[in-house]
Amino acid sequence: MGEAPTSGMVVIGDEILSGRTRDANMHHLAGRLTEAGAPLSEVRVVADEHDLIVEAVQALSARHAYVFTSGGIGPTHDDITADAVAAAFGAAIDVREDARAILLARYGDESLLTEARLRMARIPQGASLIENPVSGAPGFRLGNVFVMAGVPSVFEAMVQSALPQIDGGPPVLSHALRLPVPEGDLAGPLKAVAETHAQVSFGSYPFYAPPTVEGGRGAFGATVVARSADRAALSEAAASLRVMAAELGVADMAEETPPAG
């Protein structure tokens, strides 16, 4: 079984880095790309600065099969993503008639296509458009880079439009067990399980459960997540995790299995 192609993401915007806006797009994209078999493996967050965007796009484009950007393709002066992506590929950029026609259909009046709004129709030469059914203004794909809006509802719609262009491997499945065992006690046994299941990746995510009665003591535990594109290998790993849990004295555990099929 060959390795699945990987994806990268560039999140663009001063408002993300300042803490004014909480990014939701990475979480959404990660889930969709996992389903598409081109998992997200690297993310950069950069300010609205031309050279930083160019460098990030070039670096991730060279390293991954697909790159997705979010933010910076609106009508304001600091929306410079389209220009930066064009520069990253050495492509010319200008208002393109098909993108302009989409905006005109959206606004319905030529007089409303102001200079600011026409910035959203500036498309690099050689790019293909990404449909935006929410607000009209299209994104675009240039090479292996998909350029999309930062507003979550628009970003999600654009991701849906772009997904048919993704040639991924099999989706990555996961199996999770929530264990009332401190992570320090779990580390050794989990390492032993991981060493016997080379086709599966394992992660351990600690949690704290507060006391159920006033004055009681809370408990530490960890959720163990196994991931693989091979359903049979994942099933075998899950069985090993159950044995491990029993050996650690866990009689009852919360378990999340992948869908059948």
Q: How does pLDDT run along the chain (261 residues), one tens digit per residue?
A: 457 899 999 999 999 999 999 999 999 999 999 999 999 999 999 999 999 999 999 999 999 999 999 999 999 988 999 999 999 999 999 999 999 999 999 999 999 999 999 999 999 999 999 999 999 999 999 999 999 999 999 999 999 999 999 999 888 889 999 999 999 999 999 999 999 999 999 999 999 888 766 666 768 899 999 999 899 999 999 999 999 999 999 987 788 776 654
Which among 177, 186, 196 is positioned nearest to 236, based on CA atoms?
Answer: 196
pTM of the model: 0.83
Q: E strands, the chain, where?
A: 7-12, 40-46, 66-70, 93-95, 122-124, 128-130, 139-142, 145-148, 173-179, 201-209, 219-228, 254-256
Report the C-alpha gap between 249 and 122 in whole angstroms.
62
Strand 128-130, strand 139-142: pairing:
antiparallel
Which among 69, 64, 12, 71 is positioned nearest to 40, based on CA atoms?
Answer: 64
Report the C-alpha gap between 119 and 137 in whole angstroms.
10
